[in-house]
Amino acid sequence: MYAPKMQQLSQQGKLPALVEGGAYEWLTEFVIPGNMFVDLKPLLDSTPELRALAIPEAIAYNTVNGGKIFSITYPVVRPIGLYYNPKLYQPSKPMSQMSWEQVAAELGNNKIAFMTGENAWTTVLVLSSLIAKEPGGVEWLASGANTNPRLTDYNNPIMIGAVTKLQQLLQKNASANTLGAAYADAANSFMSARSAIIANGSWMIGDFAPDAQAKWSNGFNGADVRADVFPGNVAIGGPGIGYSWWIPNTATPQEQELAKAFIAFIMSQDELERYMLAEGGVSPRMTATQSFLAERAKNKLMDEYVGAVKPDTILSYSWGDVIPNSVYETEWGRLLPLLINGTYTPARFCQELTIKAQETIR
């Protein structure tokens, strides 16, 4: 895993000159308090084009230790939605205009590509969309976006209500391989026409291109795939907040200059437009070039995926991004089978997760 490897290299004094993120607890408990980084404020102040595109919330999030800027985040928001196979399931209207209950009723025997292995990525996205539709859910998730410790108490109506709905979806519409499924298994379920829906980011669009046919089976055709935000008009994604590219203070002066030059290069408008064509997303403070918009329109699925986010779409943080890393990466997926088979009620499931989360702050 990437984050543990970075921690190991840090302990050995062998971190590379440029690092992308890392485990939240490691960064907030050791790297930032210990000033183990190069202040990037001078880079922002001396590069007007970089400062102009930066998202204010991201700058505030990354400002630490009396005004130093710890890392620079891509000035791109990449709201996450879902994909569906219209040969298996054709919604009666745009899914954004439906509720999860309505979608489940229409799905019948068709399945959703859930997973319990790894960090249960596709499952946590659905859970996050359910939380966002609970009264106060969006605000509750946002309250954990810039705190240490993160959200550790899930014994509340918001979480229990969302988990209750998730349990129903898991018990009725979960793909046959859900138990123990890693991401590759969930993706395979969708691309083998065994699941009608998968929650995932825009980066999956490449898997539906003609040159990815080796990943398809059972009559699946990537050209058929459609995209939308989640039922309830919800998309998962914060306003560019998070720890991204940072420079360890163990880098030599020459390495620091090279790393800063690389950051400025990948954050330039031309490179960001290339990045968004490949990965999706929008840059809120950028005026897109006409050539970029024309090029994006050539990829109909990407255009549909990104265009599904409307001015009234609810943008919500992912639950996985605002809880302790150890709970997200291990405990939550480990407990999911007990929710699915009914051993745990939603309230008991939330209670057990709370116990695991609060162990991280003792």
Q: What is the pLDDT along the chain (362 residues), one digit of tens a residue?
A: 677 787 888 888 888 999 998 877 788 888 999 999 999 999 999 999 999 999 888 898 899 999 999 999 999 988 999 999 999 999 999 999 999 999 999 999 999 999 999 999 999 999 999 999 999 999 999 898 866 668 999 999 999 999 999 999 999 999 999 999 999 999 999 999 999 999 999 999 999 999 999 999 999 999 999 999 999 999 998 776 777 899 999 999 999 999 999 999 999 999 999 999 988 888 889 999 999 999 999 999 999 999 899 889 998 999 998 999 889 999 999 999 999 999 999 999 999 999 999 998 76
Domains detected in the chain: 2-72+241-283 (3.40.190.10), 81-238+315-361 (3.40.190.10)
Q: What is the rounded end-to-end Cα distance, in angstroms, of the chain?
A: 25
pTM for the whole structure: 0.84
Residue 147 is predicted with a pLDDT of 66
Indicate the pairing of strand 314-316 with strand 234-236.
parallel
Cα–Cα distance for residue pair 125/80, rounded to 1 Å: 8
CB atoms within 10 A of CB 21: 17
> 233 vs 14, 101, 132, 187, CA distance in Å?
45, 14, 10, 23
Residue 8 is predicted with a pLDDT of 84
* DSSP H helical ranges for the chain: 2-11, 24-26, 41-45, 48-53, 56-62, 100-107, 121-133, 137-142, 157-173, 183-191, 253-266, 269-279, 290-298, 300-307, 325-326, 332-340, 346-358
Residue 5 is predicted with a pLDDT of 83
Sheet holding 226-228, edge to edge: 197-200, 81-84, 226-228
Residue 238 is predicted with a pLDDT of 76
Q: Would you state the structure tokens that stand for residue 257, as one six-digit string?
A: 């200059």
- Please name the helix (run of DSSP H) or strand (run of DSSP E) that holds residue 83, with its range, or none: strand 81-84
| Residue type (1 letter), 16 | P
> 42 vs 49, 69, 243, 260, CA distance in Å?
13, 9, 18, 10
CB atoms within 10 A of CB 238: 23
Question: Hunting for tokens 């403070």 — which residue is that?
Answer: 285
